[in-house]
Structure 1
């Protein structure tokens, strides 16, 4: 996975929506300006309480968004999807998703 992307001066830095698979197979959706760092926090037991019952296993989906507001909107949309649809999203794009339009 790549490092955090720096935005040129005057432009908003990109944000990302991501999915993490827990040991029990559940999917966690979140946003971050550095999804790899956030995943490491989830793995270390810091961050979301979601992972207290079943540890984070893999960062399975990352989608770039132009800004934080866009990432929040996309996160809400993904959270509304059924698990089957989330699995299809992962199968189609995995951790290499392109920026949303």
Structure 2
């Protein structure tokens, strides 16, 4: 996975819930989540196994945070459409 710039990602948890986050290195951040250590997002603790369900690149941190917020405002059905590629979100800086 290319780690240029900021990315927004969605993780599917073992209980089928969805977690959204941002990172400049999604592979590293996902590994931290899977390790269930001190750097794991609190929400993800004990919710394994985890699956990286969606990743998209953003132009900068501000835009990544805006997109993360928009995704978090979506209904579960809309998030599943986003993951399946049936829904497109656009944030322009």
Q: TM-score, normalised by structure 2?
A: 0.85
Separation of aligned partners in 2, 1:41 and 1:100: 27
Q: CA deviation at 1:100?
A: 5.6
Which 4+ runs in 1 deviate beyond 2 A? none
Q: TM-score, normalised by structure 1?
A: 0.79
1:48 to 31, 41, 62: 41
| Cα contact 2:36–2:46 (8 A) shared by 1 | no
Separation of aligned partners in 2, 1:35 and 1:74: 15
Which residue matches 1:62? 55
Q: CA deviation at 1:53?
A: 3.2
| Cα contact 1:19–1:29 (8 A) shared by 2 | yes
For structure 2, the residue ranges without an aligned partner over 5 or more in a row are none
For structure 1, the residue ranges without an aligned partner over 5 or more in a row are 6-13
Which residue matches 1:23? 14
